[in-house]
A and B are shown apart, each in its own frame.
Chain A
Amino acid sequence: MNFTHKHLLDIESLSREDIELILDTAIPFKEMFTRSIKKAPTLRGKTVVNLFYEPSTRTRISFEIAEKRLSADVVNVQTSSSSVVKGESLIDTVKTLEAMKADIVVIRHSCAGVPLFLSKRVSASIINAGDGRHEHPTQALLDLFTIKEKKGKIEGLKVLIVGDILNSRVARSNIFGLLKLGAEVRLAGPSTLVPESFSKKGIKVFHRLEEALEDADVVNILRIQLERQKQKLFPSIREYNHLYGIDEKSLKNAKSDILVMHPGPMNRGIEISDLIADGANSVINEQVTNGIAVRMSVLYLLAANMKSESKEEEN
């Protein structure tokens, strides 16, 4: 089984086999973390640029560690402002990186579609580290990895995602991935953030949290972005917490072994209570560890593809 993609742009265009291959390949990388020397030579001589047009701590560091553990030469470019404000266009910036012979560009951008846009215009491999409200494929992969590791399977599980689904790239990538792997996907949140239009492809939309949590095997809690309230998408943080906050009370009737996940960074006391975040069901810190393994797996599979390409060139 080979990974045939040159880029990782989204989950939507991956097959079930692609996803399973990434998850399986991540297992030995995770095992490597327990060794004293956590390094493999896979990306030696390859240059990876982390191009972040949006502030990010955990995703950028996770990619950087993954790249370094694979022995890549890593360059971080962090632009707080957009390319337009800076005066140089996005395409010029990336063409410059290409001229410097970057092999892989990991891109985070506030605009949806940027990774696809770049993939059609430059020769480097592109990894989407989050594009606007569109997708965040490596986050979904690490979530899937974590579920599979803890529950032993994904098929048939009832997975609930709670929060601002409409504006969430994490949710979109998770939905695509979970559906492809045969999970039952449930979404919960206020109707302005979880519109009924999501209830296609077998997805179930809930506006009452207790109903959504019934029999759920996993609850993935999204960060509620405080600016959404300014956009009048819900009346107050307080009411949001009352209706959709995950705490001891809301989990009272849930399955005792329900897996509690959060992509971070958390707003403690808003979408998740302290007790639950740090409780026995929480795998939030493990998600972070798994993030590195999954990103190593993606980098490894894309680089393996590159090798076969360059061999063809030699022939």
Chain B
Amino acid sequence: MGFLIKEATLLDPINSENGSVRDILVENGRIVRIGENIQTKGHEVFDCKGKYVTPGLIDMHCHLREPGREDEEKIQTGTRSAAMGGFTSVAAMPNTTPPVDSVLGVKFVQMLATREGIVNVYPIAAITKKMEGEELTEIGDLTAQGAVAISDDGLCVMNAELMRRALEYSKMFDIPVIQHSEDKNLSADGMMNEGEISLWLGLKGIPSVAEEVIVSRDILLAKYTSGRLHVAHVSTKGSVELIRKAKQEKIKVTCEVTPHHFTLTDSCLKTFDSRYKVNPPLRSEEDREAIIEGLKDGTIDAIATDHAPHTIFEKEQEFDYAPFGMIGFETAVPLVFTELVHKKILSPYVAIKKLLEGYKILNIRNEGLREGARADITVIDPDFVFTYKKEDIISKSCNTPFIDREFRGAPILTMVGGRVVMKERKILL
């Protein structure tokens, strides 16, 4: 029949709605009415008093690992993990095996998403064939098939000429080029942030300039070509400053930050715990503070997880050999509320805006909470207190240092196209 969301506190930056209390009636996959005291019969009723109701959140940066690494994650499991995290849409990075560098690859992800996924999956295609950094992919055909951006994420496009052409060519299709900014010569075989902590641990460092050199170069290229640059997972103070300045100059650059980069620092590495091994690495407290500033002043547009599943076996080895990455869908909103909202760094409205900005950056149509709009809805209980337990993890992998951490604030309902996929912290499909 349908659903009636009662007494919801609306947080909808898409429609500039900040805090009105309304009822929302959902029928046949769409929002049919938003109003006060809607009376109906036969609808399933959700009492959302004191809860935030937002347009379905988007994670614009994740790794679903399919095809190729189904032992780490599948579209089936990854989208369930995303639903638990309150995301109704995710953009999947193309560094699968083989990489998504062809129309066939895009179609494969879409097919699996339709068949096995429970949230919307938007494929991101590779910038270069086989992600080898040599030749551009067929960006026109890929976007026509539904790729929402191009990225060689995990690898940086080191060749400046190639990056220039990618920015120049992708302009025609109005998609962003998402860069993993890491100068490979400077990062070399580094494993953590280069700084005082790495110095004494004897772990090879990845200097912040390895990121900033590329951010700086790409901003110049974006300016020169008028192409659209999106800087993935910003991690350093210098990058934030470069992007702030570029935005002042009206250069088309956007960027994202991960919850782990605004929460953790390289001091976590002191115990050689590979769960904290991520790329870009956790940086210094000074960098973390600059990221917080960037979130506050709008330099940082979006919060994205960089959900990167790895098996226990892969992570449980020598620090040098453990792969980079941590999972992030299920802890993203809890971290945003615990670390940013409850600490008064961001208002709930601005925090939610960062979790919706991906639609704008990726040019995905989303009308928000509006009559007639598709019913992609997330409900967040800002005061839901819980401890994240290993046995509760929905993702196929459990490589996260946030196990056993207590959070305040969590999604309690995720609705995709009028279908409830997560309710009261349980996956329904």
Q: Is the CB of A134 within 8 A of B317?
A: no
Q: Is the CB of B202 within 8 A of A116?
A: no
Q: Is the CB of B272 within 8 A of A116?
A: yes
Q: Is the CB of A112 within 8 A of B199?
A: no
Q: Is the CB of B316 within 8 A of A89?
A: yes
Interface string of A129-161 (1 = CB under 8 A from B): 001111100000000000000000000000000
- Which chain B residues border A197 with CB–CB below 8 Å? 195-196, 199
- Which chain A residues border B272 with CB–CB below 8 Å? 112-113, 116-117
Interface string of B194-232 (1 = CB under 8 A from A): 011001111110000000000000000000000000000
Q: Is the CB of A111 within 8 A of B321?
A: yes
Given contacts A84-B321, A112-B272, A116-B272, contact A172 B316 (CB under 8 A): no
- B405 to chain A minimum Cβ distance, whole angstroms, is 19
- Which chain B residues border A200 with CB–CB below 8 Å? 196
Give A195 to B200 CA distance when docked, in angstroms: 12
Q: Is the CB of A84 within 8 A of B317?
A: yes
Query: What is the predominant secondary structure among interface residues of chain B facing chain A?
Result: loop
The answer to whether the Cβ of B249 comes within 8 Å of any Cβ in the partner chain is: no
List residues 274-294 of chain B with CB under 8 A from any CB of chain A: none
Give A213 to B319 CA distance when docked, in angstroms: 37
- A195 to chain B minimum Cβ distance, whole angstroms, is 8
Q: Is the CB of B321 within 8 A of A116?
A: no
Give A169 to B316 CA distance when docked, in angstroms: 23
Most chain B CB within 10 A, of A110, A111, A116, is at A111
Interface string of B311-335 (1 = CB under 8 A from A): 0010011111100000000000000
Q: Is the CB of A113 within 8 A of B200?
A: no
Q: Is the CB of B320 within 8 A of A111?
A: yes
Give A91 to B201 CA distance when docked, in angstroms: 21
The answer to whether the Cβ of A60 comes within 8 Å of any Cβ in the partner chain is: no
Q: Is the CB of B317 within 8 A of A112?
A: no
- B343 to chain A minimum Cβ distance, whole angstroms, is 30
| B interface residues, tally (CB under 8 Å) | 17
List residues 256-288 of chain B with CB under 8 A from any CB of chain A: 271-272
Q: Is the CB of A198 within 8 A of B199?
A: yes
> Which of A84, A109, A112, A195 sits near B201, CB closer than 8 Å?
A112
- Which chain A residues border B318 with CB–CB below 8 Å? 82-84, 90, 109, 111, 113-114, 117
- B310 to chain A minimum Cβ distance, whole angstroms, is 14
Q: Is the CB of B196 within 8 A of A112?
A: no
Given contacts A84-B321, A117-B272, contact A134 B316 (CB under 8 A): no
Given contacts A111-B318, A116-B271, contact A89 B202 (CB under 8 A): no
Give A91 to B318 CA distance when docked, in angstroms: 9
Give A30 to B319 CA distance when docked, in angstroms: 37
> Which of A12, A110, A112, A116 sits near B203, CB closer than 8 Å?
A112
- Name A110's closest neighbour in chain B (CB-CB): B320
List residues 228-255 of chain A with CB under 8 A from any CB of chain B: none
List residues 98-112 of chain B with CB under 8 A from any CB of chain A: none
- B399 to chain A minimum Cβ distance, whole angstroms, is 15
- Which chain A residues border B202 with CB–CB below 8 Å? 112, 131-135, 169, 172
Give A133 to B271 CA distance when docked, in angstroms: 15
- Name B269's closest neighbour in chain A (CB-CB): A113
> Which of A89, A91, A113 sits near B319, CB closer than 8 Å?
A113
- B140 to chain A minimum Cβ distance, whole angstroms, is 41
- A274 to chain B minimum Cβ distance, whole angstroms, is 31
- Name B195's closest neighbour in chain A (CB-CB): A197
Give A114 to B201 CA distance when docked, in angstroms: 12
Give A69 to B271 CA distance when docked, in angstroms: 34
Q: Is the CB of B199 within 8 A of A91?
A: no
Give A116 to B272 CA distance when docked, in angstroms: 8
Give A89 to B195 CA distance when docked, in angstroms: 30
- Which chain A residues border B317 with CB–CB below 8 Å? 83-84, 89-91
- B272 to chain A minimum Cβ distance, whole angstroms, is 3
List residues 182-203 of chain B with CB under 8 A from any CB of chain A: 195-196, 199-203
- Given A110-B320, A112-B272, list of 5 further CB < 8 A pairs? A82-B321, A112-B320, A117-B272, A117-B319, A131-B202
Closest 8 CB pairs of A and B: A113-B272, A133-B202, A134-B202, A111-B318, A111-B320, A112-B202, A113-B319, A112-B203
User: What are 23 inter-chain pairs, A to B, with CB distance below 8 A?
Assistant: A82-B318, A83-B318, A89-B317, A91-B317, A109-B318, A111-B319, A111-B320, A111-B321, A112-B201, A112-B272, A112-B319, A113-B201, A113-B318, A113-B319, A117-B319, A132-B202, A132-B320, A133-B202, A133-B204, A134-B203, A135-B202, A198-B199, A200-B196
